[in-house]
Chain A
Amino acid sequence: MPDVNMQVELAGVTLKNPVVVASGTFGFGREYSQFYDLGELGGICAKGLTLRPRNGNPAPRIAETPMGILNSVGLENPGVDAFIQEELPFLRTFDTKMIANISGNTPEEYGVMCEKLSAAGVDMIEVNISCPNVKAGGLAYGTRPELAAEVTETAKKHAGSVPVMVKLSPNVTDITEIARAVEGAGADALSLINTIRGMRIDVNTRRPVLKMNTGGLSGPAVLPVAVRMVWEVAQAVKLPILGMGGMSKGTDAAQLMLAGASAVAVGTALFADPFAPLKVRDELADLAARQGLASVSELTGGVRPW
């Protein structure tokens, strides 16, 4: 292991390394804990929670696209109470930061979930205002600055001392507008990007491959969009950023950090390779060592734009 300090700070939380796993791609950790010690990870964004259990959308929920995938899972989850009782104690056995991810139909629901999670003890709450796969709430909150601010405010009010990170949607004309609104409302950090709305059609049956017709695009195809948006947001606000979107290599992580991210999340790459987060971490450490950095955090915001 090269002699680079891999520790980073995200909204006052110290991560042992900048590589986190993205919400919705890692379940509640049980499956991948059969492959390696989850304590190797900088943090875990758990599967998105709602106040009550949700069954999610009908299948097919996934379609492959050029260097990407579309998904329309629709926030299938056991509900916040079941998470706290049955999953959190297990996740707590690992030496890593636990980030709960929540979605609500109303600002009040976000508030109730923040209260429960804060009392249960998580390291951070990621507020999802950008799920493209649910009808109520979700994306609507993420595309209108005043609604995004309202949700953020309510979450902050009920999260106690637990930092609140708001996950932004790329499905907007100007992401910096939402970022500023959320910053103004008191968010502690931002995570971006969520998936980009997309569609794939089977030309023989003339049916969309996804049963929901459209879904969220992720995978390497979206990396440049993520890098651009992290860069734009980093210039618009002072909040720390968890960058994600199509990352599968150390150089991808470095791009997101140079654009302004303090930490990064691996998502879709996990489906092909359960070990992707550890490989990204090691490649990032090598890259930082080769560039003679004492700390990987020196990459953050280091892009030299023309």
Chain B
Amino acid sequence: MKAEHECRIVEKRQLTPDTVSMTLAVGDMVSSAVTNTGRPIHPGQFIHIKCGEGLLLRRPISIQSWLGTRMGGTITVVFEAKGEGTRWLAQRQVGDTLNVLGPLGNGFRTTPGPYLLVGGGIGVPPLYACACYTGCSSTAVLGFRSKDRAILLDEFDSACIDVQIATDDGSLGYHGFVDALVRQELAKEQARPYLGVLACGPKPMLKNVANVAAEFNVPCQVSMEERMGCGVGACLVCAVAMRDGTVKHVCKDGPVFDAEEVDWDA
């Protein structure tokens, strides 16, 4: 049976003025997780956190990394303090406890081998778990608005073969969007045969990355975002239109989808 968990915050780091990394002691949540793939927990899943008494909706936050029960049983999340809920969350301190449901959703389906990991902004953290999960053989293309908003660069450096950065204002790395770097990288694919592209970020970015991947015939998985309610698939608010005319839900069917099944023009 699934349960709600009271999880103590054991570490908190301010990555930028708006971005917080929090590590929670989750007991046996990691090893007892019930997922559709049979694996206990995988990159791209999220936890659903209650943010105080006044807010009725939990906040879904992607898992950046985890340690199994024998290693201490922790989950680390990275989030941006953007609205009322995440601001409340950002004010919690080490020692405070959070009410957590999860891990929820279906993550990236990977096998050990080189992937091209493409992240934008607060979509970057879950790809760190992908980097570790794919045997540290992947390449990361990470996009940020500017240098002072770049996060987790050291972590990606240690878990990837190559890390390329793009910023919207050119203050760090390539001046422009990540899809240009993705195109560059896939164009030299003979040198490095990627098993796929794994992407997480704002929808316009995902759409562009999906287009480039399709052009080069590389399978692409995207982690989608939508305003969420229950987080378990009952309330049906987090709808995403599919190319075949059906509707799927980010919390239960996703958040990770095959890029080619998504209706990008909806």
Cβ of B189 within 8 Å of any chain A Cβ, yes or no, is no
A62 to B252, CA, bound (A): 16
Write the chain A residue with the least CB distance to B247. Answer: A55
A61 to B247, CA, bound (A): 13
Chain A nearest CB: distance from B77 CB in Å? 18
> Cβ of B227 and Cβ of A26 under 8 Å apart?
no
Interface residues of A in 40-59 (CB under 8 A from B): 47, 55-59
Interface residues of A in 8-58 (CB under 8 A from B): 24-27, 30-32, 34-36, 47, 55-58
User: Are A220 and B226 CB-contacts (below 8 A) given A34-B34, A35-B2?
Assistant: no
User: Are A274 and B57 CB-contacts (below 8 A) given A31-B234, A59-B239?
Assistant: no
Interface residues of A in 211-254 (CB under 8 A from B): 219-220
Cβ of A73 within 8 Å of any chain B Cβ, yes or no, is yes
> Cβ of B234 and Cβ of A27 under 8 Å apart?
yes
B contact face: mostly helix, strand, loop, or mixed = loop
Residues of B within 8 A of A112 (CB): none
Q: Which of A58, A67, A272 has a CB less than 8 Å from the CB of B266?
A: A58
Interface residues of A in 242-275 (CB under 8 A from B): 268-275
> Cβ of B1 and Cβ of A35 under 8 Å apart?
yes
Cβ of B235 within 8 Å of any chain A Cβ, yes or no, is yes
Q: Which of A26, A55, A219 has a CB less than 8 Å from the CB of B56?
A: A219
Residues of B within 8 A of A47 (CB): 236
Cβ of B213 within 8 Å of any chain A Cβ, yes or no, is no
User: Are A67 and B54 CB-contacts (below 8 A) given A56-B236, A58-B266?
Assistant: yes
Interface residues of B in 25-84 (CB under 8 A from A): 34, 50, 54-58, 84
Chain B nearest CB: distance from A17 CB in Å? 20
- Residue-by-residue, is B227-266 near A (CB-CB < 8 Å gives 1, otherwise 0)? 1111111111111110001110000100000000000001
Residues of B within 8 A of A24 (CB): 235-236
> Cβ of B4 and Cβ of A27 under 8 Å apart?
no
> Cβ of A31 and Cβ of B239 under 8 Å apart?
no
> Cβ of A71 and Cβ of B237 under 8 Å apart?
yes
Residues of A within 8 A of B233 (CB): 27, 30-31
Residues of A within 8 A of B266 (CB): 58
Cβ of B191 within 8 Å of any chain A Cβ, yes or no, is no
Q: Which of A32, A76, A274 has a CB less than 8 Å from the CB of B236?
A: A76
Q: Which of A58, A69, A273 has a CB less than 8 Å from the CB of B239?
A: A58
> Cβ of A64 and Cβ of B57 under 8 Å apart?
yes
> Cβ of B3 and Cβ of A35 under 8 Å apart?
yes
Cβ of A160 within 8 Å of any chain B Cβ, yes or no, is no
> Cβ of B4 and Cβ of A26 under 8 Å apart?
no
- Residue-by-residue, is A57-85 near B (CB-CB < 8 Å gives 1, otherwise 0)? 11111111001110101001000000000
User: Are A56 and B247 CB-contacts (below 8 A) given A61-B227, A69-B229?
Assistant: yes
30 A-B pairs in the complex with CB atoms less than 8 angstroms apart? A24-B236, A25-B234, A25-B235, A26-B234, A27-B235, A31-B230, A31-B233, A34-B232, A47-B236, A55-B247, A56-B236, A56-B247, A58-B239, A58-B241, A59-B237, A59-B239, A62-B229, A63-B227, A64-B56, A64-B57, A69-B57, A73-B235, A73-B236, A220-B56, A271-B56, A271-B58, A271-B230, A272-B57, A272-B58, A274-B232
Q: Residues on B close to A: CB < 8 A?
A: 1-4, 34, 50, 54-58, 84-85, 101, 226-241, 245-247, 252, 266
Other A-B contacts than A76-B236, A220-B56, 17 sampled, CB-CB below 8 A, are A24-B236, A27-B234, A35-B3, A56-B236, A58-B241, A59-B238, A61-B238, A64-B85, A71-B229, A71-B235, A73-B239, A76-B239, A270-B235, A271-B229, A271-B231, A272-B57, A274-B2
